[in-house]
Structure 1
Amino acid sequence: MPKYLSNLKHRYKLIFKNTGTMLIYFGIALMLFGTLAIILYKDLPSFYSFFETGLITVFTGAFFILLSWGTENAPINIQDAIVIIFLVWTLSIFFSALPFVFSGILNIHHAIFESTSGWTTTGLTLVDVTKIPKIFLIWRSLMQYFGGAGFALIMVIATGALGVGLYQAEGRTDNVVPNLRDSAKIIFGIYLSWAGIGIILLTILAHMSFFDAFNHTLTALATGGFSTKIDSVGEFNNPVAEIIIMVLMIAGGTGFGVHYAALRRGDLFKKNPEPKTMFFILLFSIPMIAYFTTDKLYGPLNGIRHSAFQAISALTGTGFSTVTFNNWNNMGLLIMTILMILGGMMDSTSGGLKLFRVFVIWKIIVHQIKTYFKPEGSIFHIEVYKGISKKRISYDTLKDVIAVVFMYFIVYTIGVMVLLGYGYSMEDSLFEYASALSAVGLSIGITTPDSPLGVIWIETIGMYLGRLEFFVIYFAIIKMIRDIKDIIEIKIQEFRGGESF
């Protein structure tokens, strides 16, 4: 067997072993979660739905491990990690959809949409929350909460050094301390602490039931937006709850490195550009929405109230709402669409372009203007704080920014064109697909159980691509195709008796 083929076989055994391990853990978690349906609600049919799904997931994971039999644990490189992230996210979304199918709540197309919306922390939904069992409402919230953290973060905590490649592959850069495993624990500790604070505040100050407080806290921090109410947060008509949820949405939309800087180094927190960028965007957009749209619809005081909530929900990529958008004018919808495209901070649970990239683009524009007045040959040199460390804006950073922004708008254009092809208006199509691609979850009314399957699937693809920022998926698919092609070519050469790699 050629050396190249032997090495490739070893790398894929590592991929299968890590993927299988994560699926087994996930399957066990599904079965354990299913028992809550009996303990909390005496809901036997829902228990069977989750338990059967858990068994299928465990068996699938065991099959992957069987394919990797005899392979010892070893650090995984970034290319292997990209394939693992692709496989784990894809399979987890699929298996998470099965309880909806087994229980008869959704068909497979709608179930995969709902599951994708959950894990990508989008919040667009096709279920009637007033009719499905409560255990499924909890499941949707947990999908968003752990989807916001990401599988890589959980894997790093569980395996330490073995998860380093996964962490990088999922696009995370927030190493708050030198040791990655300690960083992951600190980040998850911050995440859990905010969850506890949110539940307590919503229960005590806003007088929510524990069930509503629990679900809305998890999905606010995950910037996911799944609600237990059909009219989202607006159904409570509770200003105190809205203020608390706005704080939680901003917390979720803030990078974990920035959280750590605020806790440990207040001086460095002030130097981080992303919180300032978020503040100025909201300072500009909230009065704009109020002036052009909400004042006319709800009056001055409620206009500001609803303007602030909707703007924060859009920019952080959460998707909660206190009002319907059906009677909003085009100016209000345009501002909301732009906010959804911009997104929250890097290394947060938000989607969109991310404010770090927006800030970098702004700095480049300013730099270009200043360069015009400087002598020729001036050195390009920009440094900004990212969490507790200073980051130099190198050409590699610029390439990443350009690539992600360009790919975002390619996919966005395709998605909008598909919606236009189904007869939706331009303004509605721009709004709805920005919501899907940026993992927001606000809807103008396009996303419904009666929507054409083409609309359901183009939004599903958009949510998936937007959450993993495009290139992880592209790289994984291209790598697997190239590896299969190489294997076929080697086998053909061996069959012909020729030399191989």
Structure 2
Amino acid sequence: MNDCRYLTYLRGRYRFLSGHLGYLVALVGLLFLVPLPLLFVFPEETPLLGGFLFPGLGLLLLGGLLRACAKVPEDSLLSLAEGSLLVVLAWFAAIFAGAVPFVWAGLDWTGAVFESTSGWTTTGLSVLDVAQTSPLLLFWRSFMQYAGGAGLAILMLSAMTGPTGIGLSAAEGRGEQLVPQVRQSARLVLRLYFGYLLFGVPALYLAGMSWFDAVNHAFCALSTGGFSTRVDSIAYWNSPAVEAVLMLLMGLGTLNFLTAYTLLKGHWRAVLGNGEVRVAALLLPLATAVLFFGGAFRIYPSLPEHLRILLFQVVSALSTTGFQTIVFSGGEDLGYLVLILLMLIGGGANSTAGGIKLHRIYLLLKGLRREALEASCSPREQCEEGIWIGGRRRFLGENEIRKAAEYVGLFLFVWLLGSCALTAFGHSLRDSLFEFASALGTVGLTAGITGPATPAGQLWVQIFGMLFGRLEFFVIFWGLAKLVRDMGAFGPRPVSRKDS
């Protein structure tokens, strides 16, 4: 393909991408209008109206213009690189627009971007004083987490018409489909997600929360986000019933949507054989036992209360939710270590959870087992490992293990790099390792070094950690690499001897 034809092709593709980007941007704009009915309940919050209307209507207008000016062929599909670029641009738009309500309320720009990033990426770290924050902004934080947990690509795919291929959903880490048709799969994910909410809100209300608290905490538990309406987070209620409901909701949020769909279809054997379920079933009691017998966080007088609090904190860390019932302080090195490991591992793939993901840990364990078996097998024997994906069992490929190992290595490298950056702001290495594991794993537990007085430089380090952790590194690399490469194609051409 010569240069002119290639540039014509690129222009056509970018007109095509502009149409889909317009769809995503307009969708984000609509989300800004969701909190506004609360003004009828909290009329004193009316001064904050502009903080939602201006970015919401602005994104709707921009999305409409992009959609109107673009050429979107009905039969064209998105590649993974194109889907990655759309996802990166849409997330940047959502994060910066999502900061506007906080700036409107008086927060500085860096803090507002941090809060917005923490919301959309379902992290839960915060620089706000919750006791002084308006109910409208508290609801907006929680709703951002609920929408971010579903994923902008899934929201778009469930609403749009025409084929788009798997490129868009795969770019947000949702490559596994519940059913073969991509759009139908996205709609099934949203139905499951909304069904969880319909159960969670009344359950939390019956457990002792107000309706407002129940809605906010259901949003944040299902999205494995962790924002709370109370300064003391879940410790405010000190209620076994509230904690039991939240643990169930966190479990649903961290469960692979494909596994949940398989469970609803009654394929128990596939669910019980699922590697993510097995690893989680091993980690939860093991981590709780280590914390208990190691004497970590032994600040509760009774044995049942101590076990309950430890179990809740383990579920909160592994699911990457970040609800806290413990105030972390010095002298608990074992507790810090266990929670850091859980935050790094994270929850299920194709779920709302962050971290490395249980599926990758399971693949590495399978790979180690195969290596051990091959060492003891005769040269004529082949050692094949099988894994359950949804309701079917298939053999494990070497390429899957390699990709999992590459991602784990990159994740741990970035974690160590970010932790070193936090130590440069004067924090201890232990606190830095904990805090950046929380940011990169999109967890939200804090050692107390993130708050209203946190330096802007530290906040930007954590912002990048949250964004990279939510979009899983490669999506950002693919999207930005495509953009830079294509911009280079549109740039000035070097003059050759033949041209001169």
Q: How does 1:196-275 map to 2 (within 5 A)?
A: 196-204=198-206, 206-264=207-265, 265-275=267-277
Cα distance in 2 between the residues matched to 1:33 and 1:124: 23
Cα distance in 2 between the residues matched to 1:260 and 1:456: 38
> Residue deviations 1:75-118, cap 9 Å, x none?
222221111011001111110111111221x1111111111111
| Counterpart in the other structure of 1:98 | 100
| Counterpart in the other structure of 2:457 | 454
| Counterpart in the other structure of 2:327 | 324
> Residue deviations 1:217-244, cap 9 Å, x none?
1100100000000110001111110111
| Counterpart in the other structure of 1:135 | 136
* Aligned-partner SS, 1:293: coil
8 Å Cα contact 1:274/1:355 also seen in 2: yes
Cα distance in 1 between the residues matched to 2:143 and 2:104: 19
**Are 2:401 and 1:412 equivalent residues in the alignment?**
no
8 Å Cα contact 1:295/1:304 also seen in 2: no
User: 1:130 is matched by which residue type in structure 2?
Assistant: A
| Counterpart in the other structure of 1:276 | 278
Cα distance in 1 between the residues matched to 2:217 and 2:415: 29
Structure 1 residue 483 displacement after superposition: 1.1
> Residue deviations 1:46-82, cap 9 Å, x none?
111101121332343345446x445545322222111
Structure 1 residue 169 displacement after superposition: 1.5
332-341 vs 33-42, which deviates more? 33-42
> Residue deviations 1:239-272, cap 9 Å, x none?
1101110111111111011111111122221221
| Counterpart in the other structure of 1:53 | 55
Structure 1 residue 202 displacement after superposition: 1.1
User: 2:252 is matched by which residue type in structure 1?
Assistant: A
Cα distance in 1 between the residues matched to 2:479 and 2:147: 22
Cα distance in 2 between the residues matched to 1:331 and 1:343: 19
Cα distance in 1 between the residues matched to 2:270 and 2:175: 17
8 Å Cα contact 1:123/1:226 also seen in 2: yes
* Aligned-partner SS, 2:393: strand
8 Å Cα contact 2:27/2:156 also seen in 1: no
Structure 1 residue 327 displacement after superposition: 4.6
**Are 2:82 and 1:80 equivalent residues in the alignment?**
yes
User: 2:376 is matched by which residue type in structure 1?
Assistant: F
Cα distance in 2 between the residues matched to 1:290 and 1:136: 38
**Percent identity of paired positions between Structure 1 and Structure 2:** 33
Structure 1 residue 6 displacement after superposition: 0.5
Q: Which runs of 5+ in 1 are unaligned?
A: none
> Residue deviations 1:459-501, cap 9 Å, x none?
00000000010000011111111111122144x559x9839xx
- TM-score of the superposition, structure 1-length normalised? 0.94
User: 1:217 is matched by which residue type in structure 2?
Assistant: A
92-101 vs 388-397, which deviates more? 388-397
Cα distance in 2 between the residues matched to 1:295 and 1:56: 48
* Aligned-partner SS, 2:388: strand
Q: How does 1:416-455 map to 2 (within 5 A)?
A: 416-455=419-458
Cα distance in 2 between the residues matched to 1:140 and 1:378: 56
Cα distance in 2 between the residues matched to 1:133 and 1:293: 39
* Aligned-partner SS, 2:349: coil
> Residue deviations 1:5-31, cap 9 Å, x none?
01111111112221122212322332x
More helix by share: 1
* Aligned-partner SS, 1:173: coil
Structure 1 residue 37 displacement after superposition: 4.2
Structure 1 residue 163 displacement after superposition: 5.8
* Aligned-partner SS, 1:390: strand
Q: How does 1:60-79 map to 2 (within 5 A)?
A: 60-65=62-67, 68-73=69-74, 74-79=76-81
181-190 vs 331-340, which deviates more? 181-190
* Aligned-partner SS, 2:173: coil
Cα distance in 2 between the residues matched to 1:169 and 1:111: 26
- TM-score of the superposition, structure 2-length normalised? 0.94
* Alignment CA distance shift 1:424-1:85 (3 Å): same
**Are 2:311 and 1:308 equivalent residues in the alignment?**
yes
Cα distance in 1 between the residues matched to 2:31 and 2:196: 23
* Alignment CA distance shift 1:295-1:75 (3 Å): closer
User: 2:348 is matched by which residue type in structure 1?
Assistant: M
* Alignment CA distance shift 1:330-1:45 (3 Å): same
* Aligned-partner SS, 1:445: coil
| Counterpart in the other structure of 1:285 | 287
Q: 1:399 aligns with which of 399, 402, 408?
A: 402
Cα distance in 1 between the residues matched to 2:71 and 2:379: 61
* Aligned-partner SS, 1:498: coil
Structure 1 residue 433 displacement after superposition: 0.5
* Aligned-partner SS, 1:243: helix
| Counterpart in the other structure of 2:391 | 388
Structure 1 residue 162 displacement after superposition: 2.3
Structure 1 residue 419 displacement after superposition: 1.0
* Alignment CA distance shift 1:478-1:338 (3 Å): same
| Counterpart in the other structure of 1:26 | 28
* Aligned-partner SS, 2:491: helix
**Are 2:120 and 1:153 equivalent residues in the alignment?**
no
8 Å Cα contact 2:18/2:70 also seen in 1: no
| Counterpart in the other structure of 1:124 | 125
Q: Which runs of 5+ in 2 are unaligned?
A: none
Cα distance in 2 between the residues matched to 1:464 and 1:55: 25
| Counterpart in the other structure of 1:108 | 109
